[in-house]
């Protein structure tokens, strides 16, 4: 396993981060817990030392499962734990909230669910237009002073939003959507993070699985992916066709398509660690070798061009349907 310093923090994290969103039944349906727990153990054995979750994943369920698993297996100190706050899910409707009171109480809830006395990276899940950054900063400053969080990071934010927080506290990291099919942050956010030494931990590096190219053309997704643009209608076979072509490039490098997709993300010098959504020990085992290197520059561009064109074609097909 390869490791990298997360921004300017003292966290030296593995280049693969174990993502826990898969334990959110709202999006992923029922994911069997036993294989997931074995995956956590396997991740530790393989040198993965970084786990990402959120209070909102399954409305506390993912944090609770993770906390139970780490406590029962005695693995808490083997991992840096990153979690997030933003969604208030206590009532019938969930809504964004980053008020001082909410952050203070939600952090206590996360600590309790995770069965730990500290969160290594506490992230604002997304920009909240209703709360002043000064209020968020005051809460995070207090939590840091009390030793309940070690570092604070952000997710799903643009340069201006990061800047508003950076004026008030150290922003350790950005968690953006970034992969071969979602490159919006490449022009502004990633250079900004490089310039200011903010760690970058992209999510959905496999575009929620599509970039593995592993699905049959008639595959029926039983989870919410069935409603996702590139997973539907004529778009899906068009994407699989492009993925077959890209998989041949991967094969030439001795990589699976999934490994190429992860390595593609890790090749960007702004990127610290790719957060991969894991359900089984096989998922983590087969993805870990991707962290061992980067892609040759021509391959990085070729894969990006093939899949970029396929995405444009696929979205045009959907428009016609």
Ligand X SMILES: NC(=O)c1ccc[n+]([C@@H]2O[C@H](COP(=O)([O-])OP(=O)(O)OC[C@H]3O[C@@H](n4cnc5c(N)ncnc54)[C@H](OP(=O)(O)O)[C@@H]3O)[C@@H](O)[C@H]2O)c1
Q: Give, as ranges, the residues between 45 and 64 that touch ligand X (CB under 6 A).
A: 52
Q: Per-residue x/- mask for ligand X, residues 286 to 305, rule CB under 6 A?
A: xx------------------
Given the structure tokens 């919410």, which residue do they identify?
224
Tell the smallest beta-carbon distance from residue 65 to ligand X (Å). Answer: 13
Active-site option among 3, 57, 86, 203: 57
Instruction: Please compute, for residue 84, the number of CA atoms within 13 A of its CA located in the half-sphere on the CB side.
Output: 28
Tell the smallest beta-carbon distance from residue 157 to ligand X (Å). Answer: 10
Q: Is 205 in the site for ligand X (CB under 6 A)?
A: yes
Please check whether residue 22 is in contact with residue 52, taking contact to mean a CB–CB distance below 8 angstroms.
no
Tell the smallest beta-carbon distance from residue 149 to ligand X (Å). Answer: 17
- DSSP labels for 173-192? EEE-B-BTTB-GGGTTHHHH
Question: 178 catalytic, yes or no?
Answer: no
Tell the smallest beta-carbon distance from residue 294 to ligand X (Å). Answer: 18
Please check whether residue 246 is in contact with residue 307, taking contact to mean a CB–CB distance below 8 angstroms.
yes
Q: Per-residue x/- mask for ligand X, residues 121 to 150, rule CB under 6 A?
A: ----x-------------------------
Could you tell me which residues come within 8 angstroms of residue 208 by beta carbon, excluding any fewer than 6 positions away? 225, 228, 277
2 vs 214, which CB is nearer to ligand X? 214
275 vs 314, which CB is nearer to ligand X? 275
With CB under 6 A as the contact rule, the residue among 21, 122, 165, 192 that binds ligand X is 21
Tell the smallest beta-carbon distance from residue 291 to ligand X (Å). Answer: 12
Query: What's the CA gap between 121 and 104, in Å, rounded?
Result: 15
Please check whether residue 152 is in contact with residue 169, taking contact to mean a CB–CB distance below 8 angstroms.
yes
3-state DSSP call for residue 46? coil
With CB under 6 A as the contact rule, the residue among 275, 295, 299, 314 that binds ligand X is 275
Tell me how far CA of residue 167 lies from CA of 103, 133, 229, 284, in angstroms: 19, 9, 37, 38
Interface residue list for ligand X (CB under 6 A): 19-22, 52, 125, 155-156, 175, 203-209, 212, 214, 258, 275-279, 283, 286-287
Residues carrying an active site annotation: 57
């Amino acid at each position: 396993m390869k490791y990298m310093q997360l921004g300017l923090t003292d966290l030296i994290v593995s280049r693969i981060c174990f993502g826990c969103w898969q334990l959110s039944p709202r999006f992923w349906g029922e994911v069997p817990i036993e294989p997931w727990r074995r995956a956590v153990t396997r991740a530790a054995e393989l040198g993965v030392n970084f786990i990402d979750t959120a209070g909102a994943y399954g409305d506390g369920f993912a944090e609770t499962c993770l906390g139970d698993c780490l406590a029962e297996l005695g693995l808490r100190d083997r991992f840096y734990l990153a979690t997030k706050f933003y969604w208030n899910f206590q009532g019938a409707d969930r809504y964004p909230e980053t008020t001082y009171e909410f952050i203070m109480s939600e952090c206590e809830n996360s600590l309790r669910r995770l069965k730990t006395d500290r969160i290594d990276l506490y992230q604002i899940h997304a920009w909240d237009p209703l709360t002043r950054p000064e209020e968020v900063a005051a809460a995070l400053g207090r939590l840091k002073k009390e030793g309940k969080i070690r570092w604070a990071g952000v997710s799903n934010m643009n340069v201006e939003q990061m800047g508003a927080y950076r004026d008030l506290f150290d922003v350790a990291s950005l968690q953006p959507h970034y992969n071969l099919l979602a490159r919006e942050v490449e022009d502004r956010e990633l250079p900004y993070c490089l310039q200011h030494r903010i760690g970058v931990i992209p999510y959905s590096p496999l575009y929620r699985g599509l970039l593995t190219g592993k699905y049959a053309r008639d595959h029926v997704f039983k989870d919410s992916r069935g409603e996702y643009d590139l997973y539907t209608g004529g778009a899906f076979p068009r994407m699989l066709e492009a993925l077959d072509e890209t998989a041949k490039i991967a094969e030439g490098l001795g990589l699976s398509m999934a490994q190429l997709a992860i390595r593609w993300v890790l090749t960007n010098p702004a990127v610290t660690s790719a957060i991969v959504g894991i359900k089984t020990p096989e998922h983590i085992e087969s993805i870990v070798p991707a962290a061992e290197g980067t892609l040759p520059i021509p391959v990085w561009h070729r894969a990006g061009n093939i899949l970029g064109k396929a995405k444009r074609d696929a979205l045009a097909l959907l428009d016609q349907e």
